[in-house]
Amino acid sequence: MTNEKKVVVDLQGIIKRFYIGQPNELQILNGMDIKVHEGEFVAIVGESGSGKSTLMNIIGALDRPTEGSYFFNGEDISKLSDKKLSNIRNKQIGFVFQNFNLIPRTSALKNVEIPMMYAGKGRKERTNRAKELLEIVGMAERYDHNPNELSGGQKQRVAIARAMANDPALILADEPTGALDTKTGRIVMDIFHKLHKSGKTIILITHSPELAKETERIITISDGSVVSDTGTKVQDAGGENNDAV
Amino acid sequence: MMLFENLRQAYNSLVLNKKRTILTMIGIIIGLSSVLLIVSVGDVISNIAEKYLINATGGNTIYFISGIDVDGDIDHKPERRYPFTEDEIYDFIDSTNGEILDISSNSSVNVSGNFMLDDKHKSNVTMQGVTSSYEITSKMRLTNGRFFNRNESRYGKPVIVISDIAAKALFGSSADAVGKVLDFQGQVSVPQYDPETYMPLDDVVIKVSGNVVVLGVYEYISDGKSADIRTDDMETAVYCPSQFINDIADLEESSSVNGFNIVQFVPADPTDTTTAQDMIRNFALEKYGSDEDYRFTVKDQMAMLSTITGAVSIITVAFIVISAISLLVGGIVLMNTMLVTVTERTKEIGIKKALGARNSTIRAQFLFESALICLISCAVGVFLGMFFGMIIESNLDRIISLVPNEGIQYFLLNSDIHVTPSLNAIIISTTFSLAVGLIFGLYPANKGAKMQPVEALRYE
């Protein structure tokens, strides 16, 4: 019972279809059930075309499933409005993308501040927190640089700091080392390990089995279904809304 | 908080696409400047109309037109005239208990010439014929003596009121002037019109001379219209009863005066003339009311003025509508630019949405940008409007000389014309262009706001 943890992500029978003109409909996800607990570091692995991007969009609340329920921190968010979904993306989920996706012509500091700005935090609080986060990822000296003045690894570190801005319940990383060389990729992965040790829940989406091995749990998907799951080391907390002991 | 950030982003975006921004702005600036220009011109015209009426008669007078109802049936032509004699009119004024001060009669001609005390003391003057009410309607201030009264005015007594400048030149001081007799010589130019075409002909010049008694001295105040500097020998106006000029120049002979059909009354209270108007109506009905065909008009000048300014504002509105079309085109250019901007920044919209930006956040960002374009254009437009206004104003003499009518030319040269946009015009055009920015920016901004985050993120 000591390993009992709250469920952060709970996908139940998720189906996603795309309608590309009648009668053609494309079913990408064929009823997925995935549960991720608080503090877990999970890799979702799959070949390209396996549906992992679609899955990531649903987990990240960027898209809604066609069928099925998605409980995030105990709340069913599969049918929420645009406004409520953006609120969840803002406060509960931190994205790290393959191609960094920093806002151009905007300093590293401002980039990290953006999610806090959307959350309505004051200017002083934002700046202090952003500087703190940039220090954690080792970018303290370059906070006033614009993205085009940063290397790939540096951009990704700023992006991680940005993902952490509102202290989200989940960090969702989509091929975070995909555009980086081995050395800088290593630095980025080390940051994820550091975050995991501090108790963050991380889902890493990748096609690389080596990278997946660094995590503590690997979920393999193929053709829109889960084909293997190395299994969780923790058990569900008693109730969905019950705070973990 | 978001305001500053929106401003920063909008500014960055505008600077990034300088050429596009400037081209868009040019469209709006042209539209805006034309609205500004039209509103300013409309203002100038109504100001001139107002000043013209007030200048011509000095204050709010009541027109009484006997025999015709100007608002009534146009076909109604009086078979006979319905005149009032001067004695009838003055007796009526005496019976109004001061509700009506006088009739207003600025003589249409002035005497220009010399006043002499002796050979050494002379002063160049323009002698203007007015009635006793002029003291009140012109708001003049007397320093010594008094203005002529209604009876002196009525019977054209040889009395004058001179300026303190003329008093100093002639007598040494204002106090010494009152009660003195002056000789004068001068001439009266009587404008002539072709009886059929009403085109102006050469003036007939009548030489006049005589003696006048100085009744009072008024304080000369520069009207600020001309750049005159107060000097001791400058030409100033002196006032005498208009009837006096008529008498000395024998004007009665040339005009067919055997009673008045049109009378201008000066009411005691220019702001509320209803009582005075009622009295005039009763006066008219008393004499001719038994005739069923009798029609007449009683109208105060403010009512006439509002008729004129009303006409001007209708024309102005029509022109605003036309120039608003160019602003509309500017708005469409803006919409096009913003659509391109939104499409270009699809990826950025996707990132922002992933970071938790709401639809309203994205919408505000783009609306801010289009509003900023319009506000900058507006500032430039107003600046240009002032610049061109200044150019026009400094060349006003040349422009006015193009006006075909000499009378109007003279009047325009003597009125205080400002072509620079009024505050009113600036507020109207700013509001207009801001509205254009928001209305035409709304569709592109909405397009950006409604993008699906997944598709926007995928955009390269």
Backbone angles phi, psi at B260, to 5 degrees: -100, 135
> Which chain B positions have a beta carbon within 8 Å of A175's beta carbon?
none
CB contact under 8 A, B359 and A89: no
- Among the partner-chain residues B356, B454, B457, the one whose CB lies closest to the CB of A118 is B356
Of B248 and A109, the one with more pLDDT: A109
CB contact under 8 A, B357 and A63: no
CB nearest B353 (choices: A86, A103, A166): A86
pLDDT of residue B301: 74
Structure tokens at B93: 């004024």
CB atoms B354 and A60 under 8 Å: yes
ipTM: 0.92
Q: Domain residue spans in chain B?
A: 2-55+305-458, 64-298
**Residue B99: its pLDDT value, please?**
82
Nearest residue on chain A to B353, judged by CA atoms? A86
Where does the pLDDT of residue A1 fall: very low under 50, low under 70, confident under 90, or very high at 90 and above?
very low
pLDDT of residue B258: 46
User: Which residue type, as a one-letter code, is found at position B129?
Assistant: G
Residue B224, C-beta contacts closer than 8 angstroms, at least 6 positions apart: B416
- What are the backbone angles phi and psi of residue B382, rounded to the nearest 5°? -65, -40
Q: Which residues of B touch A83 (CB under 8 A)?
A: 358-359
Query: Could you report the per-residue pLDDT of B389-426, keeping only the tens digit for each?
Result: 788 778 877 777 776 666 566 666 666 677 677 787 78
pLDDT of residue A31: 92
Distance separating the N- and C-terminal Cα atoms of chain B? 30
- Residue among A84, A81, A155, A164 at smallest CA distance from A116: A164
pLDDT tens-place string over residues A34-76: 999 999 999 999 988 899 989 999 999 999 999 999 999 999 9
For testing the chain B interface, which of A20, A52, A62, A88 should be mutated: the one with the most B CBs within 10 Å?
A62
The answer to whether the CB of B300 falls within 8 A of the CB of B63 is yes
Q: How far is CA B58 from CA B138, B341, B411, in A?
A: 6, 60, 15
Q: How confident is the model at residue B226, as a pLDDT?
A: 47
**Exposure letters B275-293 (e unless 16+ CB within 10 A, then b):** ebbebbeebbeeebeeeee
The nearest CA of chain B is from the CA of A118 a distance in Å of: 6
Task: Select the residue of B350, B355, B358 nearest A114 (Cβ to Cβ).
Answer: B355
Find the CB nearest A117 among B5, B453, B454: B5
Contact B204, B135 (CB under 8 A): no
Residue B355: its chain A contacts at CB < 8 A? 89-90, 95, 114-115, 118, 162
How many CA atoms are closer than 13 Å to the CA of B419, on its beta-carbon side?
18
Give chain B's contact residues with A (Cβ, < 8 Å): 1-2, 5, 12, 16, 347-348, 350-359, 361, 452-454, 457
Task: Express each pLDDT in B7-60 by its tens digit.
Answer: 888 888 888 889 999 999 998 898 888 878 777 777 777 777 666 666 555 567
For the beta sheet containing A202-206, the strands, ordered from the edge strand earlier in sequence to the opposite edge, are A93-96, A170-174, A202-206, A41-45, A217-222, A225-229
Whether B359 contacts A83, CB under 8 Å = yes
Quick one: what percent of chain A has pLDDT higher than 70? 93
* A238 has pLDDT over 60: no
Contacts of A91 in chain B (CB under 8 A): 356
Provide the shortest C-alpha distance from residue B356 to chain A (in Å).
Answer: 4
Residues of B in contact with A118 (CB under 8 A): 355-358, 361
In terms of DSSP H, where are the helices of B117-248?
Answer: 134-137, 150-154, 164-171, 174-177, 242-248
Mean pLDDT of A209-234: 89
Partner residue facing A90 (CB), from B16, B348, B356: B356
Report residue B48 CA to chain centroid gap.
3
B454 to A123: CB separation less than 8 angstroms, yes or no = no
DSSP string, B3-43: HHHHHHHHHHHHHHTHHHHHHHHHHHHHHHHHHHHHHHHHH
Listed in sequence order, the residues at least 6 apart from B19 whose beta carbon sits closer than 8 Å to its beta carbon are none
d(Cα B385, Cα A128) in Å, to the nearest integer? 47
Alpha-carbon distance values, B402 to B405, B412, B446 (Å)? 9, 12, 52
Contact flag A105-B16 (C-beta cutoff 8 Å): yes
Buried b (16+ CB within 10 A) or exposed e, A185-224: bebbbebbeebbeeebbbbbbbeeeebbebbbbbbbbeeb
Helix, strand, coil distribution of chain B in percent, nearest 5: 55, 20, 30
Q: How confident is the model at residue A91 (pLDDT cuts 50, 70, 90)?
A: very high
CA-based angle B191:B193:B194, to the nearest 5?
Answer: 155
Of A63, A104, A118, nearest to B357 by CB-CB distance is A118
Q: Say if CB A91 and CB A80 are below 8 A apart.
A: no
Q: For the sheet containing B262-267, what is the strand order?
A: B100-103, B262-267, B62-66, B296-300
| Positions in chain B short of pLDDT 70 | 1, 49-59, 70-81, 105-109, 118-119, 137, 139, 191, 193-200, 222-233, 251-260, 304, 307-308, 403-416, 419
In the sheet with A7-19, reading across from the earlier edge strand, the strands are A25-37, A7-19, A67-72, A75-76
Instruction: Tally A–B CB contacts below 8 A.
Output: 64
Contact A105/B at CB under 8 A: yes
Residues B127, B162: Cα–Cα separation, whole Å: 9
Give residue A158's pLDDT: 96
* DSSP alpha helix (H) spans, B221-358: 242-248, 251-254, 274-288, 301-344, 346-354
Give the separation between CA B239 and CA B245, rounded to whole angstroms. 10
Question: Which tens digit of pLDDT belongs to each residue from B314-337?
Answer: 877 888 788 878 888 889 999 999
- Cα distance between residue B5 and residue A111, in whole Å: 12
What's the token pair of residue A151? 């290397």
The CA–CA distances, whole Å, from B357 to A104, A141, B72 equal 16, 28, 67
| More confident call, A187 vs A2 | A187
Is residue A89 less than 8 Å (CB to CB) from chain B?
yes
Query: Could you give the count of Cα atoms lying within 13 Å of B102 in the half-sphere of its Cβ?
Result: 23
pLDDT, position B408: 62
Element (H, E) at B263: strand B262-267
B347: chain A residues, CB-CB within 8 Å: 101
List of chain A residues whose C-beta atoms are within 8 Å of the C-beta of residue B12: 105-106
CB B436 within 8 A of CB B373: no
Check CB contact of A64 with chain B, cutoff 8 Å.
no
Among A75, A93, A94, CA closest to A6 = A75
CB nearest to B355's CB, from A105, A115, A122: A115
Share of chain B above pLDDT 70, in %: 81
Percent of chain A with pLDDT over 90: 80
Amino acid at B297: T
Question: Closest to A87 (Cβ–Cβ): which among B347, B356, B453?
Answer: B356
Rounded CA gap, B239 and B131, in Å?
9
Average pLDDT of chain A to the nearest whole number = 90
Show the CA angle centred on residue B383, arms to residues B380 and B387, nearest 5°: 135
